[in-house]
Amino acid sequence: MSDNENETSAEHPHRRLNPLTGRHIVVSPHRAKRPWLGQEDTAEASDLPSYDPKCYLCPDNERIGGDKNPDYQSTYIFDNDFPAILDIAHVGQKPSKHPLFQSQNIAGVCKVICFSPDHSQTLPDLTPTAMREIVDSWCDESQKLGKDYQWVQIFENKGAMMGCSNPHPHGQIWATDFLPDEAQTEDDKQRAYFATHGRAMLLDVVQYEREKKERLVIENDDWIVIVPYWAQWPFETLLLPRFSAARLDELNDAQRDNLGAIMQSLTRCYDALFGVSFPYSMGWHGAPFDERDTKAWQLHAHFYPPLLRSATVRKFMVGYEMMAESQRDITPEQAASRLREGHQRDRL
Q: Which residues are catalytic?
A: 170
What count of other Cβ atoms lies within 10 Å of the Cβ of residue 184? 13
Q: Which is it for strands 326-328 and 24-27: parallel, antiparallel or unpaired? A: parallel
CB 128 within 8 A of CB 265: no
- Angle at which helices 332-347 and 253-274 cross, to 10°: 100
| Rounded Cα–Cα distance for residues 230 and 331 (Å) | 9
CB 133 within 8 A of CB 74: yes
Those residues whose C-beta lies under 8 Å from the C-beta of residue 245, and which sit 6 or more positions away, are 251, 255, 298, 299
| Rounded Cα–Cα distance for residues 182 and 166 (Å) | 26
Phi and psi at residue 323, in whole multiples of 5°? -95, -20
What are the angstrom distances between the C-alpha of 300 and each of 42, 86, 144? 32, 27, 19
| Rounded Cα–Cα distance for residues 26 and 228 (Å) | 14
